[in-house]
Amino acid sequence: MKLFKELTLKFEKTDWAKNPEFCVFDTILDQNPKIILMMKDDIIGKEPASNFGRKDTPSVDQIVRAAIFKEMRNMDYRELEYAQSDSRICAAFIKLEDRTPFSFQMFQNYISRIKPETLHKVLVEINRIAISEGLEDIEKVVQDTTVIETNIHYPTNNSLVWDCIKTSTSLLTKLKEEISSLDFINYTKSAKKTYFEINVTRNNEKRYDLFCKQLILFTKVINQTSNAVKKKSTSIIAMAIQDELSRLLILMNQVYDFAIRKEVLGEKVPNDEKIYSIYEQHTDIIVKGAREVQFGHKVNLATGASNLVLDCQILKGNPADKSLFMPTLERIIDNYDIVPRDSATDGGYASLQNLQSAKKAGISNIVFNKTVGSMQNIVSSLNMETRLKKWRSAVEAHISNIKRGFNIFRCNWKGWVHFQAKVLWSVLAYNIRVMTAHLVKQIMASPQLG
């Protein structure tokens, strides 16, 4: 119980006692420098950290601490910069030691380098610490999926065409400042008017005519974007803008293709041929039964009896839940070297193959909330089945706790890699909160504090 003893001493100090979550993570980092080393390569590369100079940049330890402080307090980077001078616990936790606070740009630059794969390893390492402290035993595992949205507006063919036109025109305007000989026509006024008209038109014939008009404008924008990309320039800024236009041009052609197929030719375009945002191109369409369609990514979570998240997978596409069941259990067994005794999931994970595979892996009680066909749950008793079904429903509360507590219904970090990182940072912060609740309960019951 290394954590317990250290925390008992720290709780004698008022600032730490009032902020037990930071006290727990501070103790974990102090006792387990391995966690900092796991993130070092992502943050500063293979080069050894220097102990010389003016220390104008934060250490790896400070960057990790700042990242977790930001997530625990649900701050943005500017608020994190302010908190360094405004909050005593922030200064103590990040170990500023009376130096000038670091800028929000600096923290954003370094924190954004930490890869999702590294964060998942840190999640496993923190859970291993929880196991060693007796907070979790991996005896019971429950799985469930949720959807976290990307930061996009509701996608329609009309909105995607308009996004392409306005974004291209904005970039062409910037390019004109670098290449004075560049000529282009700004179609945004006409395109915007047509965009709103399409939105409010319910008559199919009128809507068809408006879309044809918009696509003619879109073709002109595509052509002048293509010409601008070919324009020769020696300016580094101009070449950077042209590179961005070149990537946008590929998306514009894709949007034009499925817009004309759907709106003009009346074809049904398969989902895997569509894009749902030119800004967050990794966005998937998630359809779950009769529920409302969502745009983002499916996340599969596995939790234990302690409510700690043992495994978190952010998925591409919309795979069936039953295809996630065994891979998750296998990762848990590999990561923690423990075979769970009980497994409980909802009916979406149920299949005869999953039942047999889990039994072969050594799991004694395998319960699906709803079974399919003639298959039956494998349990030691009817009472055990009832208890596991009731316990399984609690995972909904854990998911709600993560999404509400860390404002992760919608992820505002840009790009696929950063989307995964943001979700994992939130799960890490949630696990620290859960560990803190268990440890504080133990400390409060300790005779030393009685």
* pLDDT average, residue stretch 89-100: 88
The pLDDT tens digits of the residues spanning 405-434 come to 999 999 999 999 999 999 999 999 999 999
The pLDDT tens digits of the residues spanning 113-139 come to 999 999 999 999 999 999 998 999 999
The pLDDT tens digits of the residues spanning 156-200 come to 999 999 999 999 999 999 999 999 889 999 999 999 999 999 999
pLDDT computed for residue 388 by the predictor:
93
pLDDT top residue among 398 and 46: 398
pLDDT computed for residue 450 by the predictor:
45
pLDDT computed for residue 401 by the predictor:
93
Long-range CB contact pairs, 317-323, < 8 A, 24+: 317/284, 318/284, 318/285, 318/286, 318/287, 320/348, 321/145, 321/345, 321/346, 321/348, 321/349, 322/348, 322/349, 322/350, 322/351, 322/354
Residue 47: pLDDT band (50, 70, 90) is: low
Mean pLDDT, all residues of the chain? 90
pLDDT computed for residue 234 by the predictor:
83
The pLDDT tens digits of the residues spanning 252-271 come to 999 999 999 999 998 998 88
Distance CA 178, CA 442 (A): 65
Question: What are the angstrom distances between the C-alpha of 222 and each of 219, 248, 287, 379?
Answer: 5, 10, 32, 62
What is the CATH code for 117-152+282-423? 3.30.420
| pLDDT at residue 52 greater than cutoff 70 | no
* pLDDT average, residue stretch 210-224: 95
What percentage of the chain exceeds 90 in pLDDT? 74
239, 229 Cβ separation under 8 angstroms: no
| Tokens at 10, concatenated | 């720290």
Distance CA 238, CA 321 (A): 47
Residue 53: pLDDT band (50, 70, 90) is: very low
Please report the DSSP string for 70-119 in residue order: HHHTT--HHHHHHHHHH-HHHHHHHT-TTPPPPPHHHHHHHHTTS-HHHH
The domain spans of the chain are: 2-114, 117-152+282-423, 157-273
pTM (2 d.p.): 0.91
